[in-house]
Amino acid sequence: MTIDLSTPALLFPAVSLLFLSYTNRFLALSSLIRKLHTDWINTPEHCDSALLAQITNLRHRLKLIRWMQVSGALSLFLCVISMGSMLFDLVILGTIFFTIALLLMAVSLCALVREASVSGGALNILLDETGKPSSLHK
């Protein structure tokens, strides 16, 4: 198999769309954390297990989003280095950088799948809290 200069460039459109998705996830999560912080300050007596579970969940999601962004950015950076290497006829070096870039993109996508799974867990925490008999309206 031959890798030329245009092969690493194929990742650029995908990476830009992924970063848009990652940024939207981060912005939504930061908004939720800010709201939770405001609620915590205004009503500290509501420190219950559901709220603590939400905080744990948000911390985990934040770490995953950081992994998504960092591994995606490194992947893009290594694609650029790969293209530069191939531009100067360093095909073997370019192939190595491109292979590492693909692996980092796979890490980024795995973190995305895991974060999507964890975010569903956050909704289940809320649903569990809402379904308790003491919180139902009569």
Q: Is 89 left (phi over 0), alpha (psi -120 to 50) or beta?
A: left
Q: What is the pLDDT of residues 3-46, one digit of tens each?
A: 776 777 777 777 777 888 888 888 888 888 888 778 777 776 66
H/E run at residue 84: helix 49-87
**Structure tokens that stand for 42 in this block:** 């205004």
Q: Which sign does the torsion angle of CA 94, 9, 78, 117 carry?
A: negative
pLDDT tier, 132 (very low <50, low <70, confident <90, very high otherwise):
low
Q: What is the pLDDT of residues 38-84, one digit of tens each?
A: 877 777 666 667 777 788 888 999 999 999 999 989 998 998 999 89
* Tally of CA atoms within 13 A in the half-sphere of 111 that contains its CB: 23
Rounded to two decimals, the pTM is 0.76
CB burial of residue 93 (10 Å; 0-12, 13-18, 19+): middle
